[in-house]
Chains A and B, each alone.
Chain A
């Protein structure tokens, strides 16, 4: 609880300062003009979504190795927050693409693999709902997460391996220092917020799992008393 509060406070603080610098202090890009400011939300969304998916992959391995359900709680947290950021990534990218490339969407490798990534991990969340029991649910999710994760390095490296409309990764060498600062602040801000939400989602999963662990007769009694 305390760690979560700390993460949220630090995250909000960094993101607020980063957004202020990104919108009002950093210069516009020489060709893209102000549109380039979308970078300060788009790039952190991409980084943190992929980081969360990587964590989910680690939790999936830990779950299958140890069988402890706490890894399932963390795994669902990482995936859910990852999918939210992944969806945002696609919308932000579409807006940025319309303004710079001239199109909302094109089937280039970076865009396609990013969309596939969102669909695969959203699929893991859907799969969870179909499992007959808790043990199956955690196992199915872990196996599906490992398989879905294959796309994550592909998203990162595809622009280096294949031709694309999307540019390759920028680096501090290719980005004006006045633009690197808000990018860093927002990235760390979003990182802390995302970790806080992941832990929060994991806590929800844990308590709802405990609630469903109550033996059936007791549950029926609870529900009856609730209706009375």
Chain B
């Protein structure tokens, strides 16, 4: 019978934090890639 307290919750915590950090890191990477491309096209233009 469960005692009303969740044990072994760390795996969920690690999963949630990992997904958060990974997704935000990918987003920042995508921003920097797009930023470099936009800068390049602006430089080409002048």
User: Interface residues, chain A, CB within 8 Å of chain B?
Assistant: 19, 23, 28, 30-38, 41-42, 45, 81, 84, 87-88, 91-92, 95-96, 98-100, 193, 197, 200-201, 203-204, 207-208, 210-211, 214, 218, 222, 226
For A37, the chain B residues whose CB sits under 8 A away are 9, 13
A211 touches B38 (CB 8 A): yes
For A34, the chain B residues whose CB sits under 8 A away are 6, 9-10, 13
A23 touches B13 (CB 8 A): yes
Question: Can you name the residue of chain A whose Cβ is closest to the Cβ of B17?
Answer: A41
For B45, the chain A residues whose CB sits under 8 A away are 210-211, 214, 218, 222
For B38, the chain A residues whose CB sits under 8 A away are 204, 207-208, 211
Q: A96-B12, A200-B35 are in contact. Are A88 and B42 (CB under 8 A)?
A: no
B19 touches A88 (CB 8 A): yes
User: Interface residues, chain B, CB within 8 Å of chain A?
Assistant: 4-7, 9-10, 12-13, 15-17, 19-20, 23-24, 27-28, 31, 34-35, 38-39, 41-42, 44-45
Interface centre among B12, B23, B44, B45 (most CB of A within 10 A): B12
Nearest CB of B to A130, in Å: 19
| The residue from B23, B31, B34 contacting A87, defined by CB atoms under 8 A apart | B23
For B13, the chain A residues whose CB sits under 8 A away are 23, 34-35, 37-38
Alpha-carbon gap, A17 to B15, bound state (A)? 20
Nearest CB of B to A32, in Å: 5
B15 touches A211 (CB 8 A): no
Enumerate 19 A-B pairs (CB-CB under 8 Å) in ascending A order. Answer: A19-B17, A31-B4, A31-B6, A32-B5, A34-B9, A35-B9, A35-B13, A37-B9, A38-B12, A41-B16, A88-B23, A92-B19, A96-B16, A197-B31, A204-B35, A207-B42, A208-B41, A210-B42, A211-B42
Across the A-B interface, give the 9 residue pairs with the lowest CB-CB distance, nearest first. A35-B9, A34-B9, A211-B41, A207-B38, A33-B6, A38-B16, A33-B9, A208-B38, A99-B12
For A45, the chain B residues whose CB sits under 8 A away are 20
B44 touches A207 (CB 8 A): no
A222 touches B12 (CB 8 A): no
